[in-house]
């Protein structure tokens, strides 16, 4: 590795662009092979940094959420549910209730999918950049 490349990597680290700093040699080789313009190289460098930051932030939010498991909304079997219709489910999937800061309370007997829905809606919220946490009702009442 040349001294100039090491110096550039150090500068990137000082600017808190650590992901680009680590990947710089590979990106430079790719730029040379594909004859990228300066604009294309800079665009790739910055997009790479943003993508890696988003991935790290999402992983951090997932860890903080403390989900008992991960299930998606698409995995939920709506045909076995009588109190929740397809139209209501589509409305809930839009996540407008979250943007409007409404609470969503899921009530019902054991085994109807309350936890599944709670986890899946929180996964969507994490994808949208929200920070969420999973707490069973017993733990929540203790905290309150």
Given a cut of 60, whether residue 60 has pLDDT beyond it is: yes
Query: What pTM, to 2 d.p., does this model score?
Result: 0.63
In the predicted model, what is the mean pLDDT of residues 31-52?
A: 94
Check: CB of residue 13 under 8 Å from CB of residue 21: yes
* Nearest-angstrom CA–CA distance, 126 and 133: 10
Confidence at residue 2, expressed as pLDDT on a 0 to 100 scale: 59
- Say what the pLDDT of residue 1 is: 47
| CB proximity list for 58: less than 8 A, separation 6 or greater | 126, 127
Q: Is the pLDDT of residue 75 over 50?
A: yes
């Amino acid at each position: 590795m040349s001294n100039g490349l090491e110096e550039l990597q150090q500068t990137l680290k000082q600017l808190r662009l650590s992901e680009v700093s680590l990947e710089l040699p590979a990106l430079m080789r790719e730029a040379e092979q594909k004859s990228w313009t300066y604009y294309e190289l800079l665009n790739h460098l910055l997009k790479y940094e943003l993508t890696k930051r988003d991935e790290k932030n999402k992983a951090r939010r997932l860890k903080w959420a403390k989900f008992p498991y991960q299930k998606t909304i698409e995995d939920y079997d709506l045909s076995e549910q009588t109190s929740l219709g397809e139209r209501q489910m589509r409305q809930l999937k839009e996540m407008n209730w979250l943007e409007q800061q409404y609470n969503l309370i899921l009530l019902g007997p054991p085994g109807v999918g309350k936890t599944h829905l709670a986890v899946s809606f929180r996964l969507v919220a994490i994808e949208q950049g929200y920070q969420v946490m999973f707490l069973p009702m017993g733990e929540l009442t203790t905290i309150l």
